[in-house]
Amino acid sequence: MPQTRTKWPAASHLQQAADQLRNLLPSSEPLLAGYADPVADWLDSAANEMAWLAPYREHEGGYKPWRIATRIAHTILGLPEPDTCTTCHTHASTKEKS
C-alpha cells in the first residue's frame, strides 16, 4: 500500500479493491501474491493520480484508464454498474447540494 492515499471520494472503490486484493491471499502464497499485488498497486496509483479529476468525459485522456480501473474495482468488490457509479464517476465539487 502506498505511504499516502488520496482523500478524494472518487478513489474510495479503487482503494477498497486494492485492500481486498492484498488481503485476499495469505503471505504463505508468495507466487499468487505476485499476481494480486501489482494489480492492487496499480489501483492505488490510479486512485492517487486520477481521482481528483473524476468524472472523465470520453474525449479526455484519462477516460479509458479510469474506466478500466473502476471496472476492475467493481468486479473485485462485487459492485454493479461501474460506468454509472456515483462514487467513482462524480467529483465532489459537481455533486448536487441538498
Within a domain: 26 = yes
**Does 95 score more than 80 pLDDT?**
no
Q: Residue 3 contacts by C-beta under 8 Å, 6 or more apart in sequence? A: none
Q: Report pLDDT for 4.
A: 80
Task: Please give the residue range of the domain that contains residue 40.
Answer: 9-91
Within a domain: 98 = no
Q: Report pLDDT for 96.
A: 43
Q: How many CB atoms lie within 10 A of CB 84?
A: 9
pTM of the entire predicted model: 0.81
Within a domain: 50 = yes
Mean pLDDT, residues 74-84:
91
**Does 76 score more than 90 pLDDT?**
yes
**Does 92 score more than 50 pLDDT?**
no
Q: Report pLDDT for 47.
A: 94
**How far is Cα 40 from Cα 42, in angstroms, rounded to an integer?**
5
Within a domain: 1 = no
pLDDT tens digits, one per residue of 21-52:
888 876 667 777 678 888 999 999 999 999 99
Within a domain: 13 = yes
pLDDT tens digits, one per residue of 5-21:
899 999 999 999 999 98
**Total count of domains within the chain:** 1
Query: In the 8-state DSSP scheme, what is residue 25?
Result: S
